[in-house]
Structure 1
Amino acid sequence: MPASPPVVLFDVNETLSDMRPLMGEFEDAGMPAAGASLWFTEVLRDGFALTVTGENPDFVVLARDALRRHLATTPGAREDPGEADRILEVFTHLELHSDVVPGVTALRRTAELVTLSNGSSAIAESLLTRGGVRELFSQCLSVGDAPLWKPAREAYEYAAQQTGRRVDELMLVAVHPWDIHGAAMAGLRTAWINRTGAPFPSCFRAPEIEAEHLVGLAEILGVPGD
């Protein structure tokens, strides 16, 4: 049985937040529901490109720009100039996945909990507060205060510095294979939350642990139950 780490470091977008409501918002704006996933992928793509060139972009700026492109290039989409901001407002007020509250409650029994997001720490704070679990987390970190976005090594090293721990004392928990790979390459332990049942990409360094949900991760780590 894998040992429970001193610090569990959570990704935020999609790992903790349930982004499915955005599909309905895209439809309401006259765009395909599937466009929500494509939009988020484009935001990450642009952020990663800027990271490679040594820049640290603002997530919200990239997100708004990508939304405006989708609205402008989708036939039949609303032409209201405030539509992108309306969708972004929904994005900043998403709810937690159903497994998060019981999962983080269990994991907190043996580890310090911290978030590290490519988005803002304020969004993470708000998300956890709405879910009633903010007090379980010691810090909500953002790459906006780090040298670069994840999956750059510097982002994970920043998290280790902020917790006062070595990188190998942190376990990164994420749904994104690219995040798992970046953390592993930086020396962190990793746990992939695979809610979809998809295979892990063979091009990336495999996670130490794979679990269907956060409650399952706690069980794999041998965290005592209630």
Structure 2
Amino acid sequence: MPTRPRTVAFDVVETLMSLEPLRPRFADAGLAPELVERWFDRLLRDGMALTLAGDYEPFPAVAAAALKTLSRGDLDDDTIAHVLAGFHELPAHPDVEPAMRTLADAGISMVCLSNGTTETTTRFLEHNALDHHIDQVISVADVHSWKPPVRVYDHALSQIGRAPHEVALVAVHAFDCHGAKRAGLTTGWADRLEGVYSDVFIPADVVGHDLVDVAQRIATLPEAGQDS
């Protein structure tokens, strides 16, 4: 039985950060706007593939390479930079702020754990007035490994200073929850991106339609040592 965490670690891209405003920039580059999802899936795949091979490249480099591959090499460096500059102004999904407020009201602290850079995540939080909810930003760059290997979550735990059962990972990606579960964390998954939680992954402890639903369910989990 999962227990109420003392800290929630949020995934960032797609969980907190909406990629929708990148569509006009794809159009500016001559790419179909609906290719945003395909590009981001390739980006995640390539980052994970590097990790599996024992190598590492940071998010911006992998994002640029995935965009160049998607265009079959037709985009020049300036055009790629124009598309990726959109990351500096991406909005938060509508359910993010109320979910964070729910956790804060419950006395649960929050951090971010991202495949992206610390700088981009910090800028996103400040741009969307969410930074006052987040105690720290943790990037996979610190351990040169994309999620979901266990060492990424172990590093996050060491940075937070808590035991695995005291921390919950919240994401819209089932693979992220699977990795966190392997590291002993509680997990919360919102279905607004994937719709169905894949059967090949360890089930999440808390499932909700959006982040508010997940936050409310996490806040009502029994405390450790408390009868459920």
TM-score (norm. length: structure 1): 0.91
SS in 2 for 1:82: helix
User: Secondary structure at the residue paired with 1:151?
Assistant: coil
Q: What letter is aligned with 1:55?
A: D
Equivalent position of 2:5 in the other structure: 5
Conservation of the 8 A alpha-carbon contact between 1:147 and 1:154: no
Distance 1:194 1:201 in 2: 11
Q: Is the 8 A contact 2:188 2:205 kept in 1?
A: yes
Query: Which residue number corresponds to residue 156 of structure 2?
Result: 159
* Aligned residue identity for 2:37: S
Change (3 A) 1:89 1:147: closer
Q: Which residue of 2 aligns with 1:185?
A: 182
Stretch moving more, 214-223 or 54-63? 214-223
C-alpha distance after superposition, 1:39-71 (max 9, x if no partner): 111111111011112223211101111112223
Give the letter for the 1:113 counterpart.
M
Q: 1:35 maps to which residue?
A: 35
Matches within 5 A, 1:12-161: 12-72=12-72, 79-109=75-105, 110-161=107-158
Which range moves more in the overlay, 89-98 or 188-197? 188-197
What amino acid is aligned across from residue 96 of structure 1 in structure 2?
A
TM-aligned CA deviation for residue 4 of structure 1: 2.8
Distance 1:210 1:132, change over 3 A: same
Secondary structure of 1:18's counterpart equals coil
Q: Is the 8 A contact 1:180 1:192 kept in 2?
A: yes
The worse-fitting range, judged by mean Cα deviation, of 49-58 and 109-118 is: 49-58
* Distance in 2 of aligned mates of 1:118 and 1:221: 23
Partner in structure 2 of residue 206 of structure 1: 203
| 8 Å CA contact retained: 1:167, 1:188 | yes
How far apart are the structure 1 equivalents of 2:56 and 2:5? 29
**1:2, CA displacement in angstroms?**
6.1
SS of corresponding position for 2:33: coil
Aligned counterparts of 1:132 and 1:126: Cα–Cα separation in 2:
10
SS in 1 for 2:72: helix
Equivalent residue pairs, number: 219
Q: What is the CA–CA distance in structure 2 between the aligned matches of 1:69 and 1:144, rounded to whole Å?
A: 23
Q: Percent of aligned positions with the same letter in both sequences?
A: 35
Structure 1 segments of 4 or more deviating over 3 A? Answer: none
Output the aligned Cα RMSD: 1.8
**Partners of 2:69 and 2:144 in 1: CA distance:** 28
Cα distance in structure 2, aligned partners of 1:159 and 1:197:
25
In the superposition, the TM-score normalised over structure 2's length comes to: 0.90
In structure 1, list runs of 5 or more residues that go unmatched: none
Distance 1:72 1:55 in 2: 24
Letter in structure 1 aligned against 2:32: P
| 8 Å Cα contact 2:191/2:209 also seen in 1 | yes
- CA deviations on 1:80-139 (whole Å, 9 max, x unpaired) are 541100000002321100111111011123211010101101111111111112011110
Task: Describe the shift of the 1:13–1:27 C-alpha distance in structure 2 as closer, same or farther (beyond 3 A).
Answer: same
3-state secondary structure, aligned to 2:46: helix
What is the distance in 1 between the residues matched to 2:169 and 2:150? 13
Q: Distance in 1 between matches of 2:218 and 2:170?
A: 13
